[in-house]
Amino acid sequence: MDLVPAVLVGAALSSLATFPLAWPFQATGHDLALLALRGLVQLAIPCVLVVYCARVLKAPEVALLGLLEVIFGILLAWAGAGERPAPAVLMGWRAGDRRVRFQ
């Protein structure tokens, strides 16, 4: 079963749902190009890759990749954008939480 069209439908529905929040629309052509590139690189390509990988990988492997996305997101923000994560983020705590909770 090909689920790639489902990714397209989900993207279209989320765009329609968030469009009223963008009003009044004041983005320039350059801004729209950057947003389109960001949407393609950060959303479209990864979603399609997950759909394709789910065909050949076992369910635990796909779940592990989904969980690793959180870790890699923090590391990429740290290394790529120079954002320094708070110590609580590195420890896996929520803001203001003094004890470690395993879920």
Instruction: Kindly report, residue by residue over 12-48, the tens digit of the pLDDT.
Output: 898 899 888 888 888 899 998 998 899 888 888 888 8
Give yes or no: residues 41 and 85 share one domain: no
pLDDT > 90? residue 61: yes
Dist. CA 25–CA 3, nearest whole Å: 32
Give yes or no: residues 22 and 72 share one domain: no
Give yes or no: residues 36 and 68 share one domain: no
Give yes or no: residues 90 and 50 share one domain: no
Give yes or no: residues 46 and 63 share one domain: no
Evaluated on CA atoms 93, 94, 95, 96, the torsion sign reads negative
In this predicted structure, what is the pLDDT of residue 23? Answer: 83
Give residue 16's domain range. 1-56
C-alpha 6: how far from chain center:
17
What average pLDDT does range 79-86 have in this prediction? Answer: 86
In this predicted structure, what is the pLDDT of residue 101? Answer: 55
In this predicted structure, what is the pLDDT of residue 7? Answer: 84
Specify the 3-state DSSP secondary structure of 21. Answer: helix
Give yes or no: residues 24 and 65 share one domain: no
Compute the mean pLDDT over every residue in the chain, rounded to the nearest whole number: 84
The angle subtended at Cα 51 by Cα 71 and Cα 92, nearest 5°, is 15
Domain count for the chain, please give it: 2
Dist. CA 31–CA 12, nearest whole Å: 19
